[in-house]
Amino acid sequence: MTPIPVNEPLLDGNEKRYLSECIDTGWISSEGPFVGRFEKEFAASVNRRHGVAVANGTAALEVAARALGLGPGDEVIMPSFTIISCAQAIVQCGATPVLVDSEPLTWNMDTSQIEARITDRTKAIMAVHIYGLPADMAKIIDIASRHGLKIIEDAAQAIGLRYGNRPCGSFGEVSIVSFYPNKHITTGEGGMVLTDDLQLAERCRALANLCFQPQQRFLHDELGWNYRMTNLQAAVGCAQLERLASHVQRKREIGRLYDSLLAGCPVQRPLLAAHDTENIYWVYGLVLPEEIPLTAADAMAMLACKGIGTRPFFWPMHQQPVFQRMGLFPNLVLPVSERLARRGFYLPSGLALTDAQIHHVADEVKNILL
């Protein structure tokens, strides 16, 4: 069988038509009309008043942290089990990440650990929705409200997911999303900062655009970044957003099919739901139990020999060499995050994946584990 990549995006809507419009009109930079349209339409899709399109999800996190005024001496509570962009954004603005472990079944941050980590320096909680299930936002909102903390919501892996009656991306002072090719909608690279606060949105927009002064373009009171999204990217995003409902439906079909095919396999599979929310299966992850004499790396290598692409789970922040060299998180032990990193990996999960490919992947997984 032809090799199966871990992800392949689906670009079968109006992407070509909108890109052709960009080329025909000459609007290919960040000043083109699709940027504003995408910001408005995506923000509306998650019930936010303002969206600021940026170059990628990492940029969105950095802009959000700086716009909230986080700096030296401040602490932000966040999960260890996440992508490094989350902790990097906090470190690069001079603040300090304070880490909590994950729940063993949902893989999201263990909210029961948050309050013990709060000090007089704590300024915010960063909630990250992991792999298709939401963090426990009701608990996080309650803690933040009682302690006067801000919430940064990373909904990069949760586009199209709802928590209760609200879409992920609508919580807290500021939320961010990513439009990397493995997300439910993509712009190739790209991200967005979302908020209901006009002043905060304008601050984010300035920071992402080199902090040009409104009255005089090339006069600067402070330093920002060139994190702008191009009209070409936004055009793809507008086309993708039109297909979001069908993309979410397909992702859930992929997850359910894997579930049925791998039932009875001695491996931890994603939960069907958590916090009354059905899994959106951003990726389909597996965690090998300790009694199986294989690591995730072993299983991935075996599947690679069969032409099946996989990807490891996140490596926890407290065990990242770069942060250890900086003296962060000394002697911190977070057993769930550490186990997920070593025993977890995910299977091909892209929107272009066919049912036949899923059957083949499941067969090869069972050949390894049974």
**DSSP letters for 167-186:** ETT-SSSEEEEE--TTSSS-
Q: Is 133 within a domain?
A: yes
Q: Are residues 222 and 307 in the same domain?
A: no
Task: Write down the pLDDT at residue 213.
Answer: 87
Distance in angstroms between the alpha carbons of the first and the last residue of the chain: 22
Residue 24 lies in a domain: yes
At residue 248, the pLDDT reads 98
pLDDT of residue 241: 98
Residues 149 and 275 in one domain: no
Q: Rounded CA gap, 275 and 218, in Å?
A: 49
The rounded percent of the chain whose pLDDT value lies above 90 is: 97
224 with 249, same domain? no
- Of 221, 241, 261, which closes a domain? 241
> Is residue 274 domain-shared with residue 359, that is, in the same domain?
yes
309 and 236 in one domain? Answer: no
216 torsion bin: left (phi>0), alpha (psi -120 to 50), beta (else): beta
Residues 236 and 289 in one domain: no
Structural domain tally of the chain?
Answer: 2
Instruction: State whether 159 and 71 are in the same domain.
Output: yes
Confidence at residue 68, expressed as pLDDT on a 0 to 100 scale: 98
- The string of pLDDT tens digits covering residues 341-364 is 999 999 999 999 999 999 999 999
| pLDDT given at position 86 | 98
pLDDT tens for each residue of 202-226:
999 999 999 998 888 899 999 999 9
Domain with 312, as residue range(s), is 245-369
For residues 78 and 86, give the distance between their C-alpha atoms in angstroms, rounded to a whole number.
Answer: 8
- For residue 249, pLDDT over 80 is answered with yes
Residue 301 within any structural domain of the chain: yes
- Asked whether residue 180 falls in the same domain as residue 299, the answer is no
Mean pLDDT, residues 132-160: 98
Burial call 266-288: b when 16+ CB within 10 Å, e when fewer: ebbebeeebeebbbbbbbbbbbb
Task: Identify the domain boundary among 241, 273, 289.
Answer: 241
Q: Is residue 9 part of a domain?
A: no
> Above 90 in pLDDT, residue 370?
no
Mean pLDDT of 62-70: 98
Over the chain, what is the mean pLDDT?
97
Q: Domain of 274: which CATH number?
A: 3.90.1150.10
**Mean pLDDT, to the nearest integer, of 31-44?**
97
Query: Mean pLDDT throughout 114-142?
Result: 98
Residue 10 lies in a domain: no
How many CB atoms sit inside 10 A of residue 3's CB?
10
Model pTM above 0.75: yes
Query: Model confidence over 171-181: pLDDT tens digits?
Result: 989 999 999 99
Asked if pLDDT for residue 146 goes beyond 80, the answer is: yes
**4 falls within a domain:** no
pLDDT the model gives residue 30 = 94
∠ Cα 25 42 30 (to 5°): 35
In a domain, 8, yes or no: no
Q: Which of 219, 241, 263 is the last residue of a domain?
A: 241
Task: Say if residue 221 is in the same domain as residue 253.
Answer: no
Measure Cα distances from 260 to 279, 281, 354 in Å: 15, 14, 15
What is the pLDDT, as a whole number, of residue 185? 96
Confidence of residue 55 (pLDDT cuts 50, 70, 90): very high
Helix (H) or strand (E) holding 122, with range, is: strand 122-128
Note the pLDDT of residue 8: 96
Question: pLDDT by residue (tens digit) across 290-340?
Answer: 999 999 999 999 999 999 999 999 999 999 999 999 999 999 999 999 999
Q: What are phi and psi of 183, to 5 degrees?
A: -85, 170
Binned at pLDDT 50, 70 and 90, residue 28 comes out as: very high
pLDDT above 80 for 82: yes
Decide if pLDDT at 201 tops 90.
yes
